[in-house]
């Protein structure tokens, strides 16, 4: 991630602003406001604006005239209760806005979260920068043999080298041809005045899915938690998980009580089916039970045994 | 609308807060932050929090690193363009949160706007206050004879008196019975220790639809404009229109450029069908045309003639 | 629930229809199509239309050209997997439409489920029927002393009698006054030609929240499951739970495989927090642990002990 | 668009199905059910399922027990009224499901319509086919010089030839490298057993945005109209407009009354601002007015003059 001088200056101006407000304000989050948190080789996440805090959740749950909060321990108890019983509406009362730079194939996963507001940089309107994602060698995973949508061993040696070569060269070459077809440089200058240049909305289709795009993305706290619980999860693709991890840190600064509760109940929480609970009850009372007796499929049984740390 | 001493004190504390922030801040809106704007006889609207401003719309449309705004005239031009061509996503980047006190029958219309976040005061959990809407005599409209969902003349004399008597007495009596069934006073004290008291979630069903409820309601600027264009409209029921009118004033303070553009393009704007445009073209070029020739229904024709000020 | 002759005839005509279609069709659900299932004293739920079936979930998950289904056991395994891992989008590919008659205070809870389509009978436009909910004596619960939004013992004797008297008489009297103010009978005839009659949109506010309304309500299978998991739950108010129970039966007929999976994973399923899982692991391995050591609150601990059937 | 034998057979089986149903059924749409309508060089749209018809809109608006429809002319009048006054909820009562094959850059525009249900073919899970979009020579437009996101003249001669060469060769080469990195053929066979093969979720990033993907896409009639009014519009990119055009034809078969009304009020309809209406009124009454006097910007003025066919 290298910002231009102009971009850095714009961010500096925004950060130097200091205004008075009557609104709830979170100093821990203000500290990093507008600052890009680097993700992958050229990407970033930065918080652009926010509304509300832990107290706003409590205030909404109580529909109060003032802050509505009491002792911190009471507020934490209430937030725990709300999360545990999926009373989700009070969490919708907080809002956060990010500016994100990310590869297009990551953007395509991300956009599936529909309850959010998005403004993406338009490649119909502007020329895209020459930036594309190339994984670190440590992230060059082979296809998993057991999980059709997962990763296996890390590639190495000649195979790794060849993959990196392809990813780099193809992205560069298709970008060069993109510029050639546009007949317009990255900076917007016409290259050959005797030519017209293909429409931007057409030329972009020659770019690879590793190309970086950027957008403003805004959502409420409830939907942010949904996003994080799916995308900061080990089943998520690594390239989106690193964004979710960076956002977890912004959540910790923004709403520390909600963050704690979310970590316990959602990140580390697991849902047990009715059949699974019967198994757990038997095991606790010392009664032996095996997969066939449980009525669970082999896969479900294996997942359950992992969660409760039984090697059977 | 009479707030209790405690409520007034809570609002005063919130208003006296003065914190430093790097976020976009709107002094005109901060002025009235937390202050209830009276609506109807016991209702109010008050702005509790907000995020973004006119510049945030421009910034999102440009996906910029800094403010993204240029000259005010350029920003106004862009906002006009966005509204005119229904590029709605940049307006979703601003958010506002209201605390509203309103009669239940108004709340039932309001809640139909689904793209919003709501936390309502729970009558399963708490005892409702003894407050209900009784119209001013000037608002006691008869059923319209021409429009099945509209209002006609104002009732007067004995008929008006009788209506007010019914509305007042029935609301009071059903409330008194609500308290009797609860066996619990408005302040939460048990009335007769020898009785149990009906569950709150059941007792509430005895209240009339004129009873006041309250909620926190949060939405983005795009959906606020949708709400206002439908509810600040002359076709809206008077009792919800007064809330929309009060909110129009908060919009004027919050995003003055958007407010201007919205007034011109949406509030005063009208959509013409293909057939209507053909009629307009003919009239401009001095060619006579009547309803039958237009292919429009009588109703459509009448609506069109009203808009373009033709008496034909 | 008493339908008029005209309503019964309309339903009979709809039920007698027999058309040919290439679409997926579910005979078990067709059997009860259009038929009102009685709920409470005057309410009902009836399925008006549907789209898709269990196979459509599988087909969408596989983005197939044809049915996409294989053996029933494979389909069941896939549906289990999808529900367990919250891959919810394939369930959005099925849709169902209900016609529901329900008391207004129930409608006010129901409408909080925003991801649905609703058309409600308009009391601005038409006169409401004289039908209101009065609970059975067995459902006249007292306020719970332990749970601020729950029910306790059943009222009896004089207290029950008085409550029923109030609910019945107040609803009837406010309805009679509603008709008087309208100056229009239930059937739409003017009562006193020398009077104007209050606008319908105003008169309705005199009705109690126990009055019945009706609507068309349409949602997809994923959001139906969300609705049912919250409203067919023991924490839901009895008066909405009976609607959810009736709809569970329509689900069983419509998508039997999804119904089974949903029952096991969601209805009987429970989410354990990270702390709770640690407790379960210890108990299984025979290690003693108490509430203080667990780091859980007393309430969380109690809830956990209930789920795993430990009396400690 | 070339379907495999297996795909054709699956579609044939689906089309040969003939079941009895009590549901509203639309023979005109059943005729083309499941059949792919070709779009672009390898894409298609096909209707997979539907629910409701024109009568269902009327039925919902009237919350009726039976069909709710009257004479066709009355129904058309009501549908016109609903569309004209933006009473959109009755249109949400109909639902349609498509299977679409489309280039990824088109999919990225399409997905911005959030109120829809989507299941996309997963390139984390499966290998994508070697199919990519290459425009017809007639569609090889240059960048517009007047409109930053529009098209200008058609490229020709050597420039056109070079563009087509790039688009074809780059897409083919990046696809070949995709297969090489996967170490797996299009049919799923391992190519070189001594290698591992890169994870599918990584390898896909080497593909260009012209690559075809496919999805199931389901939405309600109201949101379909929104989609079509934006995407069947001349401002939409040609490559998505051709999909919208094909879907317009499915709408005409499905809901002919709504289609007519939509064409007149939305497709050919135009929204006039308050200022524009003042101009129109003056012109009709024969009073001269120019741009400066109108208070409109030059661009707005120009757009207005075009709509009303004035050359001034």
Tens-digit pLDDT profile for residues C39-69: 999 999 999 999 999 999 999 999 888 777 7
Contact (CB<8Å) D99/C20: no
In this predicted structure, the answer to whether residue C311 has a pLDDT above a threshold of 90 is no
Q: Domain boundary residue among C209, C226, C241?
A: C209
**Which structural domain range is residue A299 located in?**
274-307
Q: Domain boundary residue among C164, C181, C209?
A: C209
**Cβ neighbours, 10 Å, residue D3:** 14
Contact (CB<8Å) C300/A84: yes
The residue with tokens 């032996």 is A288
Q: Is residue A312 part of a domain?
A: no
Q: Is residue C166 part of a domain?
A: yes
Q: What's the gap in Å between the CA of B143 and the closest CA on chain A?
A: 36
- Do residues D281 and D223 both lie within one domain? no
What's residue C42's pLDDT? 97
* pLDDT tens-place string over residues C98-138: 999 999 999 999 999 999 999 999 999 899 999 999 999 99
List CB contacts of B256: < 8 A, sequence separation 6 or more: B28, B54
Q: Is residue B137 part of a domain?
A: no
* pLDDT tens-place string over residues D24-55: 999 999 999 999 999 999 999 999 999 999 99
List CB contacts of A78: < 8 A, sequence separation 6 or more: A58, A61
- Do residues A79 and A165 both lie within one domain? no
Is C231 catalytic? The answer is yes
- The catalytic residue among C46, C200, C204, C231 is C231
Q: Is residue C70 part of a domain?
A: yes
Total structural domains in chain A? 3
Contact (CB<8Å) B81/D299: yes
* Crossing angle between the packed helical segments C298-307 and A72-84, to the nearest 10 degrees: 20
What's residue B311's pLDDT? 64
* Structure confidence at residue B154 as a pLDDT band (50, 70, 90): very high
CB of B77 less than 8 A from some CB of D? yes
What's residue B145's pLDDT? 82
- Do residues D264 and D288 both lie within one domain? no
- Minimum mean pLDDT among A9-13, B48-52, C150-154, D70-74: which range? D70-74
* pLDDT tens-place string over residues C186-234: 888 899 999 999 999 999 999 999 999 999 999 999 999 999 999 999 8
Q: What's the gap in Å between the CA of C47 and the closest CA on chain B?
A: 22
Q: What is the C-alpha separation between C44 and C101, in angstroms, rounded?
A: 5
What's residue C168's pLDDT? 98
Q: What is the C-alpha separation between C183 and C63, in angstroms, rounded?
A: 59
CA angle D271, D277, D279 (to 5 degrees): 130
- Do residues C46 and C91 both lie within one domain? yes
* Structure confidence at residue D144 as a pLDDT band (50, 70, 90): confident
Q: Is residue C141 part of a domain?
A: yes
DSSP D158-203: HHHHHHHHHHHHHHHHHHHHHHHHHTB-TTS-BS-TT---B-HHHH
As a whole number, mean pLDDT of residues B116-120 equals 96
Q: Is residue C312 part of a domain?
A: no
In this predicted structure, the answer to whether residue B312 has a pLDDT above a threshold of 70 is no
CB of A113 less than 8 A from some CB of C? no
In this predicted structure, the answer to whether residue D312 has a pLDDT above a threshold of 70 is no
* Residue C295 vs residues B296, C254, C289, C299: alpha-carbon distances, Å: 72, 44, 11, 12
* Residue B125 vs residues A19, A63, B177, C228: alpha-carbon distances, Å: 40, 12, 18, 22
Chains in contact with chain D (at least 3 beta-carbon pairs closer than 8 A): A, B, C
CB of C91 less than 8 A from some CB of D? no
What's residue A311's pLDDT? 64
Residue with the bigger pLDDT between B62 and B247: it is B247
Q: Is residue B174 part of a domain?
A: no
CB of C30 less than 8 A from some CB of D? yes
Residue with the bigger pLDDT between C72 and A169: it is A169
B-D Cβ pairs (cutoff 8 Å, strict): 91
- Do residues B104 and B20 both lie within one domain? yes
Contact A209, A105 (CB under 8 A): yes
Q: Average per-residue pLDDT in chain D?
A: 94
Nearest CA in chain C to A115: C115
- Do residues B21 and B85 both lie within one domain? yes
- Do residues A48 and A3 both lie within one domain? yes
Contact (CB<8Å) B300/D264: no
What's residue B1's pLDDT? 64
- The catalytic residue among D46, D200, D204, D231 is D231
Q: What's the gap in Å between the CA of B17 and the closest CA on chain C?
A: 33
* pLDDT tens-place string over residues B43-59: 999 999 999 999 999 99
Q: Domain boundary residue among A158, A177, A209?
A: A209
Which residues numbered 114-133 in D keep a CB inside 8 Å of some CB on C? 117-122
Q: What's the gap in Å between the CA of C182 and the closest CA on chain A?
A: 36
CB of B307 less than 8 A from some CB of D? yes
Q: Average per-residue pLDDT in chain A?
A: 94
Contact (CB<8Å) D167/A205: yes
Contact (CB<8Å) C92/D24: no
As a whole number, mean pLDDT of residues D164-191 equals 95
- The catalytic residue among B200, B204, B231, B253 is B231
Q: What is the C-alpha separation between B250 and B241, in angstroms, rounded?
A: 14
- Do residues A91 and A232 both lie within one domain? yes
CB of B46 less than 8 A from some CB of A? no
In a mutational test of the A interface, the residue from B21, B118, B125, B128 whose CB has the highest number of chain A CBs within 10 Å is: B21
What's residue A258's pLDDT? 98
CB of A192 less than 8 A from some CB of D? no
Contact (CB<8Å) C60/D99: no
- Do residues B72 and B112 both lie within one domain? yes
* Crossing angle between the packed helical segments D274-284 and B274-284, to the nearest 10 degrees: 40
Q: What's the gap in Å between the CA of B283 and the closest CA on chain D?
A: 6
CB of D111 less than 8 A from some CB of C? no
User: What are the chain D neighbours of B112 within 8 Å (beta carbons)?
Assistant: 89
As a whole number, mean pLDDT of residues D211-236 equals 96
- Do residues A194 and A106 both lie within one domain? no
Contact (CB<8Å) C196/B153: yes
- Do residues A109 and A205 both lie within one domain? no
pTM equals 0.96
Q: What CATH number is associated with residue A242?
A: 3.30.1360.170
Q: Kindly state the tokens that stand for B101.
A: 């006190």
Q: Is residue B22 part of a domain?
A: yes
Residue B250 gets the label, from left (phi > 0), alpha (psi -120 to 50) or beta, of alpha
- Do residues C62 and C110 both lie within one domain? yes
Nearest CA in chain D to A158: D195
- Minimum mean pLDDT among A203-212, B47-56, C88-97, D139-148: which range? D139-148
């Amino acid at each position: 991630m290298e910002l231009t001088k102009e971009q850095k200056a714009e961010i500096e101006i925004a950060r130097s602003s200091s205004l008075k407000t009557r609104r709830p304000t979170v100093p821990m989050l203000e500290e990093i406001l507008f600052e890009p948190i680097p993700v992958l080789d050229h990407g970033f996440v930065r918080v652009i604006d926010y509304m509300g805090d832990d107290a706003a959740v409590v205030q909404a749950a109580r529909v109060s005239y003032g802050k509505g909060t009491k002792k911190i321990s009471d507020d934490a108890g209430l937030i725990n209760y709300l999360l545990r019983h999926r009373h989700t509406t009070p969490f919708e009362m907080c809002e956060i806005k990010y500016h994100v730079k990310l590869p297009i194939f990551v953007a395509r996963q991300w956009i599936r979260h529909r309850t959010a507001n998005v403004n993406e940089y338009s490649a119909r309107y502007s020329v895209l920068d020459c930036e594309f994602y190339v994984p670190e060698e440590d992230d060059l995973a082979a296809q998993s043999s057991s999980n059709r949508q997962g990763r296996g061993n890390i590639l190495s040696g000649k195979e790794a080298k060849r993959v990196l070569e392809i990813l780099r060269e193809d992205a560069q070459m298709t970008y060069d041809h993109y510029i050639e077809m546009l007949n317009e440089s990255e900076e917007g200058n016409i290259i050959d005045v005797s030519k017209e240049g293909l429409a931007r909305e057409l030329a972009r289709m020659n770019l690879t899915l590793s190309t970086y795009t950027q957008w403003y993305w805004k959502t409420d706290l409830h939907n942010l938690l949904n996003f994080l619980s799916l995308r900061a999860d080990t089943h998520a693709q690594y390239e989106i998980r690193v964004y979710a991890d960076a956002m977890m840190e912004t959540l910790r600064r923004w709403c520390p009580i909600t963050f704690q509760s979310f970590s316990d109940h959602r990140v580390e929480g697991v849902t047990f089916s009715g059949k699974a609970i019967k198994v757990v009850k038997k095991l606790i009372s010392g009664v032996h039970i095996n997969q066939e007796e449980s009525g669970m499929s082999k896969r479900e049984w294996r997942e359950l045994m992992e969660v409760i740390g039984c090697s059977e």
